[in-house]
Amino acid sequence: MAREAGWVTAHLLMYPLGLLTEPTAKVERGHTLGGLSPHQRGLAHYSVDAVATPILLVHGIVDNHTIFAPLERALRRRGFTDLPSFDYGVLTSDVRETAGRLATAVERLVAESGYEKVHVIGHSLGGLITRYYVQRMGGHERVHTAVTLGTPHQGTALARAGSVLPLVRQLRPDSDLIAELNQAAADCDTRFLAFYSDLDQLVLPSRNARIEHPDLRVRNVRVRGIGHMSLTNDGGIAFQIAAALAQLDGQADFDVHESSVASSLLD
C-alpha cells in the first residue's frame, strides 16, 4: 500500500504533463540497427517484426498517457521502438463510443506504420475499451495481442456505488456492456494477456479482472501485492509483456490458462 501511495503521488505530479505533451508523437520507423542498445539489437536479430510492430497504449478512467511512463521506458529498454498512446479524454461517458474512436486511432497507426496488425496495452478502463473494440467491432483483424492491466472484464462491485454516472453503470457486473462482452466471439483470434492483482482496490472482487470467455485466446496472470495504479510500474509485469510481444503467431501458446508473476519495482 505504501508503494501504491508513492506511485499515485508521483503520477499526480506527472499528470499535468500529459495535458501539455503530444501522446502520439511520430517515431522513425524502420529496420536499421543503428543506435540500438544491446537489448534492442538482440530482439531485432530475433525478430525484426517484433521490434517494429507498434504498441498502442490506452490509459484508464480520468487519466492520460503519463500513467505508462515507467512501462514505456521498460519496453523501450527491451527493444521495442514504436509506442504511441491513445488519449480519449476525461469526459468519456460511453465505452462503445470510445472504442469507435480507438478503432480510428488504430487505423491511423496501421496506415502510418505499414503494419497490418498492432499490439494494444490497456490499463483499467482502457483494457475494457480495447476488448470491446477487438471483440465487438472487428478489431481482431487489426490487433495481434491485447494486454490488459487491472481491467474490470467482469465488472466491479465498486461501480454500484456510483451508478448514477452512465460510464460507471457500464462497469457494474450486471451491466448490458458486460453481458455483451460475454456473448460468442468465435471469429476473434486476437491474443489476450490479462493481469489481475490480489491488492486491486478498484476491481472488486479482484478475480473480475480475469477474462473468462470460452472463445478467446487468453492468458490470465495473477500478481501479488500490487495496487491498481502500480500495475504500470512493475518490473515483473513489464518482463512478461515484453516476452509475450516478442513472440508472434505460431511461437507461443495462448490457449486459456493461468499463471502468476513475482512483483519487482521498475528502476
Cell numbers for 206: 479482484
Cell numbers for 253: 501458446
Smallest CA-to-CA distance from 263 within 3, 87, 31, 22 is with 3
Smallest CA-to-CA distance from 83 within 104, 54, 59 is with 54
Looking at residue 26, its pLDDT comes to 45
Separation CA 113–CA 243 (nearest Å): 22
Over residues 70-84, the mean pLDDT reads: 93
Residue-wise pLDDT tens digits, 165-181: 899 999 999 999 999 99
Range with the lowest mean pLDDT among 40-54, 109-123, 240-254?
A: 40-54
Kindly list the distances between the CA atom of residue 73 and the CA atoms of 111, 116, 147, 170, 237, in Å, as whole numbers in the listed order.
25, 25, 17, 32, 13
Looking at residue 262, its pLDDT comes to 61
CATH of 2-16+37-261, one of 3.10.560.10, 3.20.20.80, 3.40.50.1820, 3.40.225.10: 3.40.50.1820
Separation CA 218–CA 222 (nearest Å): 13
Looking at residue 52, its pLDDT comes to 87
- Write down the pTM of the prediction: 0.84
Eight-state DSSP code of residue 191: E
Domain range list for the chain:
2-16+37-261
Over residues 71-77, the mean pLDDT reads: 94
Taking all residues of the chain, what is their mean pLDDT, rounded to a whole number? Answer: 84
